[in-house]
Amino acid sequence: MARKRATQPTALSKTVTSERAARLYRLLKLLGAGPKSRADLSRRLRLDMRGFYRDLELLRTAGIELPLVKGRYMLNDKVRDAVARLPFPDPRLTLGEAGQLAKGRTAAHQKLKQQLAQIIR
């Protein structure tokens, strides 16, 4: 029997803490107010260079365009649209609670139902 090869997790498949989700939200809000330099963003968010680039990579993986133009990062989308693509932190639900939330007909309900089905099969 062939072993299933482990794949490298993407930036979005990793757990995002509530602190990081809040920081990513603040980053988008700052960029929504206008272009900012890395130094300015890092200072305001209290991030070192490595942390800044990790957050930038996660946002880009989420489909949020943040081009660098003349030394300043810009947000190409509306803040509201970019925020809607941010990963959500683990809410630490029980399977029962997740099952209750999965009852519905929206795409979000279906996504949760599928995730539950993978766990309990």
Q: How confident is the model at residue 8 (pLDDT cuts 50, 70, 90)?
A: very low
For 15-32, what is each residue's pLDDT tens digit? Answer: 789 999 999 999 999 999
Q: Cα–Cα distance between 30 and 24 in angstroms, integer?
A: 10
Phi-psi region of 104 (alpha: psi -120 to 50; beta: other; left: phi over 0): left
Closest CA relative to residue 102, chosen from 114, 92, 90, 91: 114
Pick the CATH number of 18-83 from 3.40.50.10490, 1.10.1050.10, 2.40.10.170, 1.10.10.10: 1.10.10.10
Angle at 12 between CA 3 and CA 25, to 5 degrees: 170
The letter for the amino acid at 92 is R
Domain with CATH 1.10.10.10 in the chain: 18-83
Report yes or no: 109 and 80 within 8 Å, Cβ to Cβ. no
Q: How confident is the model at residue 56 (pLDDT cuts 50, 70, 90)?
A: very high
Q: How far apart are the first and last CA of the chain?
A: 21
For 69-107, what is each residue's pLDDT tens digit? Answer: 999 999 999 999 999 999 999 888 899 999 999 999 999
The letter for the amino acid at 95 is L
For 26-50, what is each residue's pLDDT tens digit? Answer: 999 999 999 999 999 999 999 999 9
